[in-house]
Amino acid sequence: MSSALDPELAAAIERLAADGWLPLTRPDVAEARRNYRDLALIRRGADAEPVASVHDDVVSGPDADVVVRVYRPEDPRGVTVVWLHGGGWVLGDLDTADAAARRVARALGATVVSVDYRLAPEHPHPAALQDAHAALRWASTQFGGRLVVGGDSAGAGLAAGCALLARDWGPRLDAQLLLYPGLDPTMSHPSVVENADGPFLTAADMRWFWERYVPGEQARLDPSVNLGEAARLGELDDLAPAVVATADLDPLRDEGLVHAAAMTAAGVTVRELHGQGLVHGYFGLGAASAAARAEGDRALELLAELLATG
């Protein structure tokens, strides 16, 4: 049984819908990208969290250059986080990821490398995953200390895929941070039906995203994008320790829960948060909801604890 929606989130989502920001998807991809970008900048709030410096760089990937944005913390603690933004593999960019990257840098004292990976449908899977892994390799050579891959939503799905690639091909990861990850292109879990109408993210939104990101049936069986398939094949052992945060009122809730359980069964250290009363995207809704802000803070605290004990 799902919990009641946090009242502050309910009010915020009602305003977003009334003002025309929802649904997240639109018939035209370019229109959806404009809407998502404008919404992300509004969700960030007026004040960006301070960091010591920000600069852009370019990573040479196997078949494309990848732009990254590097955030240096004011209080460095020897951690590097490669951050992969949400947006259904179709939407989002370095600017929509800015607030999250700053928050992670400040909370963990981490150098954050935010990745402007290629987007579908122009570049379907595996382009985004290739870009993410290239950025991860680059970050491991540029910055010392403990290495983390993390992201939210689609970015968390990419982070989970990157954790598989890093285990097999390097670099060595110290942790992964998966915030309400998108992991199941078959959309076969009960929460997809239970939370089909959201709020915020809907099952129809997810169908729109998956159709553009993995348009072929064969691609949907790739273990690096379908983590349920990775579990079925017994490919989750020896992964980096993980924080997996889900939201109770999210269509993606169950795929995150199942992936956390499968990693635990494979002997991976996993810390879970279940986000009672919260919705998909809550990490970016902290300006509207104290509960959302607190849950995001808890996810970062759990990651810090994993890094301290690893």
Enzyme catalytic residues: 153, 250, 280
C-alpha span between 113 and 81 (Å, rounded): 6
Helix (H, G, I), strand (E, B) or coil at 264: helix
Helix (H, G, I), strand (E, B) or coil at 307: helix
Q: Is the dihedral of CA 162, 221, 24, 285 positive or negative?
A: negative
Beta strand 110-116 pairing with 79-84: parallel
Using an 8 Å Cβ cutoff, are 292 and 10 in contact? Answer: no
Using an 8 Å Cβ cutoff, are 203 and 250 in contact? Answer: no
C-alpha span between 302 and 58 (Å, rounded): 31
User: How many other C-beta atoms are found inside a 10 Å radius of the C-beta of residue 233?
Assistant: 10
Structure tokens, 107: 């909370």
User: How many other C-beta atoms are found inside a 10 Å radius of the C-beta of residue 189?
Assistant: 19
C-alpha span between 52 and 90 (Å, rounded): 30
Query: How many Cα atoms within 13 Å fall on the side-chain side of residue 67?
Result: 8
C-alpha span between 181 and 225 (Å, rounded): 11
C-alpha span between 32 and 29 (Å, rounded): 5
Structure tokens, 277: 């009363």
**Residue in 300, 190, 308 with CA at minimum distance from that of residue 251:** 190
